[in-house]
Structure formats: structure tokens, C-alpha cells
């Protein structure tokens, strides 16, 4: 049995696959993510191109870019010698703070796995400074909600480890120096506590950078009137007052960033400012874990080296290229610039988070410093209260009933009827409305013309019939034609009623029907009474 136990284990069936898997796991490239949050046209595409070191094409400009629900791009991060690939860097963007967009981010960046490898960049636009506090509240609250996730036990462990890592980074921050760093330098064993107002929020320790873009436009047009380009509502004066306002905005931003352990950067389209921002972003992504406490009597473990050290000094004087790394700032440094009370603004920020919208909130205090000069939507037109339909009709009826010439039926009425009563435009039609005097006159003229034509043709026919009439027959007298529907004159000269008891519609129908029948009779009578010729123009039998 001992010989069996000492025998070597058989090799795995798929030996090459196991070797390749082991090599792949040892040489796997870590993945890092940068999440860029900002409103439309704030410069997100410019920052994305700078982080990935890709040229910004014309299509990527904010004014021409078509935003998707989630923007994504990636690139490999290589070392300084450009020999080895250190990490795969992915950049995610959202078009705006609308919930329909931000609700998609946890599906692409689940906090349980993405939290230790994600950096969040909040983008603010210096051409709209009056939106700074409101947008910061929106985005920072979303980051806090996203990092909590489903509040599972595994996520809570990740959150605690991430906060310890970032808090250790803030406590061990050292300002870069021109002196060479000794090779034997290690992290100090004495860790000072965080200062007042530092990392009071951001419970998950998410690395955050507040990037204020278009800082080159801060001083543009500051000699113009209020509402001009650049700072808009802050354009109130020049010289000291102008600098005081811009410095006040920076102090407010620094106070808020200090509460979340965030860094503050001002950027311009110049590549220098964007390159500094990229270096700090990589530095924050590769912050090593918090050092473990050493056991007495044993050597302390060697600290993990950050492959991307940040060697730029903080800068608060150049307003177009401000650099304030996380861990450097404090209330004392903020107050040195100008007279400012960080505690008051910190308390005002807390009231905003608690939804207390009184005059001492951060939004109200900031709006007093930076009035809103954004484009307002045009005012709505005044409410149009139309006149009720029946009231409108009654008003016009009363006006037009007093004017007989406004009635379109007046042309078809007898003049005698107009003398009796004034006619209105609306109302029931009376029996006199259908007397139609113009139609009666036209019918009489047509009858007279028909009677003349028939009389002339009848006289010529009578002469021919008299010559050919057999002896002993009486000669018939010619009379005017009788038209049904029309009454004939009486012997005493009185004219009966023109309608003869019929309606006007029936009279018109009978009249036109008799016209058609009479026309056919004349054509047939003319054909039968025509004298026959013998082909030489003489009548037969002459």
C-alpha cells in the first residue's frame, strides 16, 4: 500500500489545455473602466478621445454627434516604453442624466465586479456655470445609489475593501517633489486621520474626478454686458470682482469634492491639460490595496507600486488648468485663496441632500452667486377662451336681422313681400320664398318666343292645307299652343294663379319636360309636312 501511495499521479488527459490555461491566467490583462457622466454638449467625446489616445474626428464633436443610450469604446494601455500591454481600458458614456439612460449602466457595470476597477468622471461645462451645483448633486447621488447595488453580502465586502483602499490613498498622499525619491522609501507607518469635511460621503470609495471642461472660456467676453458669451450671468464687472466670482465657484467645487474624496481638474482643448487628466485617471485606477498591518517581530510587506505615478503638482492659480488631486486639499487650503467658509457650504449641501429647499440650501446660495442665464423656453401664449357657439350665432343673428340687404334670399323674393316684414339671414323659409319672380319672367318670355315661332310656321301650313283641303271641310283656326302646367288666359282677360295649385318644383319639372316634348313634335312635324320634290326643285303634282 505504501508503494501505491508513493506512485506519481497520472497526468491529466488534456495536458496542453491545462498548460495553456495556467499560462493564460498568469499573463491575463486586467480590465479597467472609466465612466463619463455629463449632460449633452459638455465635452464628453473630447475626454473620451483623450483617455483612449484616439484622434477626435469631426463626427465625434458634441454638436454633430448622435448619442446612443450607452456609448462605449476601448483601447489598450501600454507602459512608458510602449512594449507591454498593462491593461485594457474601456470608456462608457451616457447622453444625459435621464433615468432611461442611467438605468442601463448597472447591466454593463455591475457594482459587485466593476467597483474595484472603475473610475467615474463627472463633466461640468464652464459655459453654463449656473448648473454646477445642481448637476453635481444629480450625478453624485446616482454614484452613491449605483455603488449600493442590491445590498448583497458579497457587495458589502467589496464596498468596504474599496473604501479602505481609497481612504488609505488619501491618507498617504504625498505632494510630488523635484527631489529624487529614495529607493528605500516606504509608506509611513503613522497614518494621520482625515481632516474635517473629508470623505464624509462616497461610502464605497469610488474614485471620482470632477472635470470642468472649456475652462479657456472663463475669461471670454468678461468686458461685455451681462448675458454675453462665456460666464453669462457672472459677467458683472472686471478686475477684482470678476476674479472673486470665479474663485468663489472654484472654492465651492473644492468643498464638494473634498466631501466625496474626489479630484478637481479644469481642462481646455489644449492637449497638455487633457494629457494631465489622463495620467491622473490611470493613476487612480491602479491605486494599490490598503497595506495590511504588520505582525510584530516580522518584516513589513513591501508596498505595491503604482505603475502610473502622478508627478504633477497641484495648481490653484491658473484658472484654465486647475489641478487638485484627491488627498491634497483641506478646509484650510480652501480658505487661503479668499475669505470663504467651507463649513457653511458643507451644511448647505447636506440640506440639499435632505431635500430642504429653503434659502440656506446650496442651490439657493449658489444661484445668488451665479444667476441662471440659460436659454429659457418661450412663454406660452395667453389662454384663448373662445365664445360659446350659441352666443356667437345669437349675436350675429341679432345684427344681421336688422339689415335686409344681408339676406342672400332677397334676390328671389317679391318686392311686395319685402315691404311687409324685414327678412333675416337665418330662420325658416316662408311660402313667399319660392315665388321666384325672375323665374316667372323668364318662363313668360320663353313662352312668347315659342308662340311666335309656332304661329308663323302654322300660317304657312294653313295656306298649303287650304289649297289641298277637300271641298266641304271647314277650315280650322290656328291657336297658340297650350303648355301643360301653365294656365291659359280667361276670356275676360284675368290671369289665374301661375302655379295652378302645383308646387314650384312641379311647375319647373313640367315646364322643362314640355320643352323636350315640344321640340320632338316640331322636328317630327317638319319632316312629315315637307312638300315632296321631283328632284328639280318643283313640287310634285303641280
The DSSP call for residue 235 is -
pLDDT beneath 70: ranges in the chain: 1-14, 20-27, 57-67, 178-190, 220-240, 293-302, 356-359, 376-377, 380, 407-443, 446-447, 449-502, 519-542
**CA-CA distance, 143 to 138, in Å (whole number)?**
9
**Assigned C-alpha cell, 152:** 448583497
What's the confidence (pLDDT) of residue 277?
Answer: 96
Strands 118-125 and 31-37 turn out to be: parallel
Place of cell 453580502: 153
- Would you put residue 355 in left (φ > 0), alpha (ψ -120 to 50) or beta? left
**CA-CA distance, 372 to 228, in Å (whole number)?**
13
**Assigned C-alpha cell, 127:** 459655459
43 three-state secondary structure: coil
Angstrom distances, CA of residue 298 to CA of 187, 189, 191, 293: 16, 14, 20, 11
What's the confidence (pLDDT) of residue 291?
Answer: 80
What's the confidence (pLDDT) of residue 255?
Answer: 95
What's the confidence (pLDDT) of residue 433?
Answer: 45
Domain ranges of the chain: 103-176+194-220+235-291+307-369
What's the confidence (pLDDT) of residue 13?
Answer: 59
99-144 residue pLDDT tens: 999 999 999 999 999 999 999 999 999 999 999 999 999 999 999 9
Exposed / middle / buried, residue 186 (Cβ in 10 Å: 0-12, 13-18, 19+): exposed
On whether the CB atoms of residues 139 and 211 are closer than 8 A, the answer is no
What's the confidence (pLDDT) of residue 176?
Answer: 83
What's the confidence (pLDDT) of residue 442?
Answer: 64
Exposed / middle / buried, residue 172 (Cβ in 10 Å: 0-12, 13-18, 19+): middle
CA 150 to chain centre: 32
Angstrom distances, CA of residue 322 to CA of 45, 222, 302: 20, 19, 34
What's the confidence (pLDDT) of residue 21?
Answer: 67
**Assigned C-alpha cell, 390:** 350659441
For every residue of 267-296, DSSP letters joined together read --SSHHHHHHHHHHHHHHHTPPPPPPPPPT
What's the confidence (pLDDT) of residue 97?
Answer: 92
Amino acid at each position: 500500500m505504501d508503494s501505491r501511495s508513493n506512485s506519481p499521479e497520472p497526468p491529466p488527459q488534456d495536458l496542453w489545455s491545462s498548460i495553456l490555461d495556467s499560462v493564460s491566467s498568469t499573463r491575463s490583462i486586467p480590465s479597467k473602466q472609466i465612466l463619463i457622466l455629463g449632460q449633452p454638449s459638455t465635452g464628453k467625446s473630447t475626454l473620451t478621445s483623450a483617455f483612449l489616445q484616439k484622434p477626435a474626428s469631426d463626427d465625434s464633436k458634441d454638436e454633430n454627434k448622435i448619442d446612443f443610450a450607452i456609448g462605449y469604446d476601448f483601447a489598450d494601455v501600454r507602459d512608458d516604453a510602449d512594449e507591454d500591454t498593462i491593461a485594457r481600458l474601456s470608456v462608457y458614456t451616457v447622453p444625459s442624466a435621464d433615468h432611461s439612460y442611467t438605468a442601463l449602466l448597472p447591466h454593463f457595470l455591475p457594482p459587485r465586479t466593476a467597483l474595484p476597477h472603475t473610475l467615474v468622471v463627472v463633466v461640468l461645462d464652464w459655459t453654463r456655470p449656473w448648473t454646477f451645483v445642481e448637476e453635481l448633486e444629480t450625478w453624485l447621488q446616482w454614484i452613491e445609489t449605483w455603488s449600493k447595488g442590491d445590498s448583497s453580502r458579497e457587495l458589502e465586502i467589496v464596498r468596504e475593501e474599496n473604501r479602505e483602499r481609497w481612504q488609505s490613498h488619501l491618507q498617504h498622499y504625498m505632494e510630488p517633489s523635484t527631489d529624487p525619491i529614495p529607493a528605500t522609501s516606504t509608506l509611513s507607518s503613522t497614518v494621520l486621520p482625515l481632516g474635517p469635511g473629508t470623505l464624509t460621503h462616497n461610502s464605497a470609495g469610488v474614485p471620482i474626478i470632477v472635470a470642468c471642461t472649456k475652462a479657456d472660456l472663463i475669461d471670454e467676453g468678461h468686458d461685455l454686458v451681462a448675458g454675453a458669451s462665456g460666464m453669462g450671468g457672472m459677467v458683472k464687472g472686471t478686475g477684482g470682482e470678476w476674479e472673486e466670482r470665479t474663485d468663489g465657484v472654484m472654492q465651492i467645487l473644492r468643498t464638494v469634492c473634498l466631501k466625496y474624496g474626489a479630484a478637481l481638474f479644469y481642462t481646455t482643448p489644449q492637449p497638455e491639460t487633457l494629457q494631465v487628466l489622463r495620467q491622473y485617471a490611470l493613476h487612480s485606477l491602479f491605486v494599490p490595496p490598503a497595506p495590511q498591518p504588520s505582525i510584530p517581530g516580522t518584516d513589513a510587506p513591501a508596498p505595491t507600486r503604482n505603475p502610473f505615478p502622478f508627478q504633477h503638482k497641484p495648481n490653484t492659480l491658473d484658472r484654465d488648468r486647475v489641478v487638485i488631486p484627491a488627498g491634497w486639499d483641506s478646509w484650510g487650503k480652501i480658505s487661503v485663496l479668499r475669505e470663504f467658509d467651507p463649513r457653511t457650504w458643507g451644511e448647505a449641501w447636506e440640506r440639499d441632500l435632505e431635500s430642504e429647499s429653503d434659502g440656506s440650501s446650496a442651490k439657493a446660495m449658489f444661484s445668488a452667486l451665479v444667476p441662471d442665464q440659460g436659454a429659457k423656453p418661450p412663454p406660452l401664449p395667453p389662454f384663448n377662451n373662445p365664445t360659446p357657439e350659441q352666443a356667437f350665432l345669437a349675436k350675429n343673428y341679432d345684427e344681421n336681422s336688422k339689415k335686409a340687404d344681408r339676406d342672400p334670399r332677397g334676390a328671389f323674393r317679391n318686392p311686395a313681400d319685402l315691404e311687409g316684414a324685414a327678412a333675416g339671414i337665418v330662420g325658416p323659409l316662408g311660402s313667399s320664398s319660392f315665388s321666384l319672380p325672375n323665374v316667372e319672367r323668364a318662363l313668360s318670355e320663353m313662352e312668347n318666343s315659342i308662340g311666335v315661332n309656332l304661329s308663323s310656321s302654322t300660317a304657312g301650313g294653313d295656306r298649303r292645307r287650304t289649297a289641298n283641303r277637300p271641298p266641304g271641310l271647314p277650315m280650322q283656326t290656328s291657336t297658340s299652343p297650350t303648355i301643360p302646367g301653365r294656365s291659359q288666359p280667361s276670356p275676360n282677360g284675368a290671369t289665374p294663379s301661375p302655379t295652378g295649385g302645383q308646387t314650384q318644383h312641379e311647375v319647373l319639372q313640367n315646364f322643362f319636360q314640355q320643352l323636350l316634348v315640344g321640340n320632338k313634335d316640331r322636328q317630327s312635324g317638319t319632316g312629315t309636312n315637307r312638300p315632296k320634290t321631283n328632284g328639280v326643285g318643283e313640287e310634285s303634282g303641280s
